[in-house]
Structure formats: structure tokens, C-alpha cells
Chains A and B, each alone.
Chain A
């Protein structure tokens, strides 16, 4: 099996997929770093102070002002309320959730890329893992070896897991290294609050506790990885089912974007919570953001993703081992 995985990794590497992804990340991170830097700068300019308490207080007031506007949607209002309570909680406990520093940037970057950017990157690798062999005809040579089909597929899946992990790790490392140039490399021990949960409009804080940022980041990256594996597995299934890599990418792209849109408007459509793509923002549960749909929780979302992942794996293996190859 190791030599099979070796083969798959070799092919992935030679197709330059991983390099392209690293390049994309290396290009995007400075962009966001600069944006964040600018944001901090303008905020400081506007308030005439770089004291984070004043800034956070200002944010709270801004939120309150938005809440009092009558033209605000109910979902948005709920979100803002939760946000408000949380900000107030940070303020009351004298914790700066946005303390600048490379680890903070890393965390915020991961939180913001979990539902679209990272799944897209994973998709680039997963989409043609099987379909390119089918469209390139090399599958005929691959399947006429003295190796069972399920082993070949498993080696491909393991290669996918490895490269997904590699991508997530690269996101972490690159965002840390690059943003550190601007924000400095410290801040691993910054205390952060987690354990917020939302019931209705209320933010429940009884299980809120403090964790150091490094642990927080490790947990969030674990969740990011989980999401990437789920998205990767679904793409993998499509790659098994379809010959055309473009079709795989198209379907995946459409559902991811649909997910990003749905999250903002499904609060009244309850059964939408069983879609995998509205459950991608796992990190929001850790940081205590409002949920798109009533009744969702970290456990629920992880379960939904796990079910989709397992179903996709079963379908992939059954189809791949039974299918006639023309």
C-alpha cells in the first residue's frame, strides 16, 4: 500500500497541483495581511487611539446602532445581538480577541477561509484524482495490474488525505510566517474565550471558558481539517463518478457557493441544515457566532459532515470496484 500511495503522491506532485495551491496561498495571505493592517490603521486613525478597549467599545456601539435601525432583517438582528453579547463579554473580561499578532491572523484567516477558500483549494486537488485517469485512459493500465481495485482507490484516497493535510498545514505555516512580518510573531498565549452557545437570540455563556490561543488555533485547525476532508471526500466521489474533471469542479463549485449563499438565507427553511454545505463553518461554534439555522450545533454539523463523508466513501468504493471500464 505504501508504494501505491507513493505513486499517487508522485503523480499529484508532478501535476504541480500542490505547488499551484501553495502559490495561491502565498499570494492571498499578504493580501489579507495588508487588508487587516489597513483596517487596524484606519480604525486607530478614526478613534485617535490604538487602545483596543476603545475600539471594541466602539464596535459594540456601532452594533447597537445598527440594531436600532428599523430596516434590519431578523436573521441579521439575531446575529448582531449574539455578536454584541459576545463583544461585551470580551470587554468585561478584559480580553482582546483581535490582539494583533501572527497567531491571531492565522486564526482569523482559518475562520474566514473554512467555508469557501479552503474547500476550493482542496477541490483543485481532489477533482481530477480519479477522473483524470479515466479521461486520460491511464485507468486501463492502472486496473490491469495485479492489485485489487479497492486498493488502488484506497491509495488514491490516502493520497488525498495527505495532500489535504499538507494544504491545511501550509495555510497555517504561510499565514503565520507572512503575517508575522507585519504583526509580529508573538501572541500564542493570548487567552481566548470559547464555549459560547446560542439558544434563540440568547447567547448562553455558562460553559464559556478560557483557552490559550495556541490551543484554540490547534482546535480550529482540527475542525478546518475535518471540513476539508469532508469536502475532499465529496469531490473524490464525484471524481469517481464522472469522467470529466471540469464537471466535477463545476458541481463542487456550484454547491459550495450555493452553501455560502444559503447560510445567509435559510434560517426559516429548517431542513436545509442537512445539506453538507451549510455546515462548513465549524469554527463559528468555537468562537460563538450565530448559527444559520435553529438547532444546529458543533456536534450536529460534524455529524452531518461525517454522514455525507461516509456515504460518499461507500459510493466511491462500490462504484469503483463494480464498474465496467470502457
Chain B
């Protein structure tokens, strides 16, 4: 791609008490894309995000937002950034409107009319003048996004945006994020430890484990690479033996066998099985879940 990245992270490291927590993370975010940041709790997602938004100072490495360095040009960089780190914690004793006013006052470039725009965008006009302490979590989440969007950012960072939302809320949030990326050309960085969420939401994903990125790619590509074939055959033992001669075979649930998908080889293997007198009752391709993928990539490290 030749586009200029909206957010670029290069060789980011962080050492806390002589222990390296983040071990050289690099990735880029392009305009209009939703980028997933996937990893188990404690992998370093939140630390990385906090470094991007300037809450934690990196030990080494550079972060640029819209071409401005977060460490040396903090205010310019922050003008292009909107974020929610962990929970959307707002002032409970102020109303939603006062909260937005409060944050709008901190950036001179935000006009008063912008408040109404973001409120409409997140659909909160009905209860905006109520105290935040009376809001539900979903409403706080929306107000959180509203405040993140105040400065018309190029990059939106959402840390676990669907945490604590009900299924309807999750779907609503997902559609909302996709719409922002599509219609406003925002780059969105979403972190999550839920694979299903990333799978449904993101264009590209970085898989992070123990402080380093182990894989960055488009979701489609990652999945395609890992496409498999599931065989329902009998007798299983004999089929296993035959297929093992050709490729790696795993035993699936309820007596199935799983091999990698290879469009040229699969018919050959099929023929071989039939010739050996094995009955093939079912043969289907399947995309793996990111769970499988993660297990594959990390070599057995589990999520959560």
C-alpha cells in the first residue's frame, strides 16, 4: 500500500523494573481501516495502547499519529487522536453535556456546534442533560465515543469497546464502528481478547502475545491460509494411515479427520482413499476460528 499511515508504531519497547514488557512492537494503521489488536489479557495490549495515547512513556521506539510524534509533538499528535482506554470513565457528577463541554474546552479548535454533531452521531440527544451517574453502561460507552470524536480525530482507539455490553449492544457498537471507518474515513484501532469480535469487526489484525506481535495480516488472508478439509470416513484408522502418508492429519471430534486444504491435492487424496476401499461419507472445507489460529500461531498458549 502506498497510503500514508494514520498511525505508525515502530519498534516500541517498554521496560518496567528491568522487565521488558513490550518487546519491539511495530505496525501501521491506514485511513478507513479497522485494525484489530488481539491477544490474551496480560499480553501487552493495554500497555501498548497507553503508550500510543501518551499515558505511558515508551522506553524506546516511535509512535506517530498523522505524522506527528507522540513523544516530541504531543499536542499536535493528540489533536488527531480520540480514544477510550479501558472503561469510558467520565465525571459522574456532571451531565453528559457538561462532560462533553468540559473536554471540548480543552481543545480550542473544537467549535460549539461540534457538540451537537457528536451527540447526534452517537444518538444520545434524549438524555444528554442527565447526570452521567444515572447512565447505563451502554450509554456511557456511547458518551465515551462521543467525547473521543469531539476533535474530529483521524485515529480512534477503542480498548475493549464491547466489554460489558449485551449482545444487542455489541452488534450496535460493531455497526457503528464500521460506519465510522466507512463514512468518516477514520482509522480505528480496536483491542480485544475476543476473537469472534475481531473476526467480525476488523479488516486487519495484529496478534500479540507476551509483548510482541507474532503476526500481522488481513483477517481474510489469515483465515484462508488456515482453511481445512474435514473428512468423515470409515474405517478411521485405515484412512488416517493413508492420509498421513500424504499430509499432516489431526483427529477431529466425533470421528472425523482434519487435513489442510489444498485444491490440487484434495482430489488425489480422495481418490486414494476410495481406491483403498474406504467409504468417504462427507468431505467439506472449513474456515478455522481465530481460536484455532491463535493456538496454531502461539504453539499452544491459551487465551485467557
Contact = CB atoms under 8 A, between A and B. Distances in A.
A38 interface: no
B80 to A, nearest CB: 9
Contacts of A7: 102, 105-106
A147 to B, nearest CB: 5
B54 interface: yes
Contacts of B78: 144-147
Interface centre among A141, A142, A148 (most CB of B within 10 A): A141
A146 B103 contact: no
Interface in B104-144: 105-108
Interface string A133-151: 0001110111111111000
Interface in A103-125: none
A15 B81 contact: no
B89 A141 contact: yes
A10 B76 contact: no
Interface of A: 3-4, 6-7, 10-11, 14-15, 136-138, 140-148, 322, 324-326
B85 interface: yes
B107 A145 contact: yes
Contact of A137 (B54, B74, B87, B98): B87
Contacts of A148: 74-75
Given A324-B56, A324-B57, A325-B55, A138 B86 contact: no
B50 interface: yes
Contacts of A140: 53, 55, 85-86, 89
A145 B94 contact: no
Contact of B106 (A11, A147, A322): A147
Interface centre among A14, A146, A322 (most CB of B within 10 A): A146
Interface in B44-88: 50, 53-57, 74-79, 81, 83, 85-87
B83 A11 contact: no
A154 to B, nearest CB: 13
Contacts of B87: 137
A3 B107 CA distance: 9
A153 to B, nearest CB: 13
A325 B106 contact: no
Contact of B147 (A11, A141, A325): A141
A326 B77 CA distance: 20
B90 interface: yes
B93 A144 contact: no
The 3 closest A-B CB pairs, nearest first, are A137-B89, A146-B78, A325-B55
Nearest to B159: A140
B54 A144 contact: yes
B176 interface: no
A14 B89 contact: no
Given A137-B86, A146-B107, A325-B55, 18 more contacts: A3-B105, A3-B108, A4-B105, A7-B106, A10-B94, A10-B102, A11-B91, A11-B93, A14-B93, A137-B87, A138-B90, A142-B106, A143-B55, A144-B85, A145-B107, A146-B75, A147-B78, A326-B56
